[in-house]
Amino acid sequence: MFKNQKGFTLIEMLIVLMIISVLIILIVPNLSDKSKDVYAKGCGALAAVVQTQVESYYLDKGSYPASLEILQSENYINTEQKTCKNGKALGYNPTDGTVTEP
């Protein structure tokens, strides 16, 4: 009547679920900390791209733009490239054409 069936018992399944839960509890907080690093590095990369566009404007016009809005109006950058993903605006010094992270 009863055959020797192979499979996992309920206790074995609960132990595996407990181990997976502990691993998730340890990993998820580290991922949220990494998002801050990603935003910071992304903002630095965006500043480098806009700096390149400032230099391109300088080569074309012979002077640095007075503001980032001028770069936007001349289609060197778009609206999204003036602010980082964290909502902070890039800094710009028109005297020497340097773009800085917020």
Containing H/E element for 15?
Answer: helix 10-61
Q: Where on the phi/psi map is residue 7: left (φ > 0), alpha (ψ -120 to 50), or beta?
A: left
Q: What is the mean pLDDT of residues 33-57?
A: 85
State pLDDT tens for residues 58-96: 999 999 999 999 999 999 999 889 998 888 899 999 999
pLDDT computed for residue 51 by the predictor: 94
Instruction: List CB contacts of 96: < 8 A, sequence separation 6 or more.
Output: 64
42 pLDDT higher than 90: no
pLDDT computed for residue 59 by the predictor: 94
35 pLDDT higher than 90: no
1 pLDDT higher than 60: no
Percent of the chain with pLDDT over 90: 55
The CA-atom distances, in angstroms, between 16 and each of 5, 9, 28, 29, 55 are 20, 11, 18, 21, 57
Of 36, 35, 14, 17, nearest to 25 by C-alpha is 17
